[in-house]
Structure 1
């Protein structure tokens, strides 16, 4: 009888450990305004630290342009928000429609890029870091404009017409988002 209990306890411990184990080679951890991503197979890691003006809102799962985006959503009192997420490199490349130039192992950060997305009627600033065969993306969304937005103003036209607004948005994003590896 003692032996059966011992085997049962080992079985339960195994189930508990299996339930706590990471589901893939990329593990995520969020501690307040710090989100860490670690590749268990290489030990490479990326840490995203967000400024104190951003408050954690929720874990999100969204379909966007044929990809399922999963990540941590933070909001600020000025109407901006930041999404911190990760995905496989191939899935990311399919989403953006091009191949990124980065080695299959190691970490490579790309320069941040600000765009006006007519479909969302928002400025966005994206920070992308390749982490081995995965990608960590941090996207700051600007506040939605007041009034109607018909979505007809393209990126180049918006950027040319609002240089001060874009510069201020970029400056705030640099204050709010820090990425290390």
Structure 2
């Protein structure tokens, strides 16, 4: 009887971890403006810390440019928002349209990249860390302009709005912190 009392909690813990791992490659834990992604199989983790000007809204599941993205959505008073999510490497590569040189084990951070997405009429800044081959991404979305026809391409927008893009990047750097 004693053996069952000690073995049962251990078996339940393993089943719970296995269930979490089956949802995706990461176990996710959110506490306020801190989200921790941990690989159940390796124990490696990435911590995302967001600035105090961002307020947690909700857990979302969205179709974003043909990919089903699930993550934690935060918003700011200035009309910007941040989505913190994880995904399998193949899903990420399909989304961005190119292969990444992610290591099979360990972490690799990629330089943040800002783009204008004509279809969304928004600036976005993406922070990406590969962890054991899969991906954690933090995407800051700029405010939506009052008028936008969606025809201005990335390079043209970035050149015509250089000061706005620089201010957007500075603000993102003050709000998004990643550690692994």
- For 1:27, the equivalent position in structure 2 comes to 27
Gaps of 5+ in 2: none
- 1:116-162 deviation line (CA, Å, top 9, x unaligned): 0000000000000001121000000000112x210000100000001
Aligned-partner SS, 2:166: helix
Normalised by the length of structure 1, the TM-score is: 0.88
Give the root-mean-square deviation of aligned CA atoms.
Answer: 2.1
Deviation at 1:13, TM superposition (A): 9.6
Q: For 1:80 and 1:33, how far apart are their aligned partners in 2?
A: 15
- 1:92-115 deviation line (CA, Å, top 9, x unaligned): 111111110121111000000000
Q: Which has the larger radius of gyration?
A: 1
Deviation at 1:44, TM superposition (A): 1.1
Gaps of 5+ in 1: none
- For 1:76, the equivalent position in structure 2 comes to 76
| More deviation, 14-23/121-130 | 14-23
> For the Cα contact (< 8 Å) 2:115–2:123, is it kept in 1?
yes
Runs of 4+ in 1 over 6 A off after TM superposition: 10-17
Deviation at 1:41, TM superposition (A): 1.4
Normalised by the length of structure 2, the TM-score is: 0.89
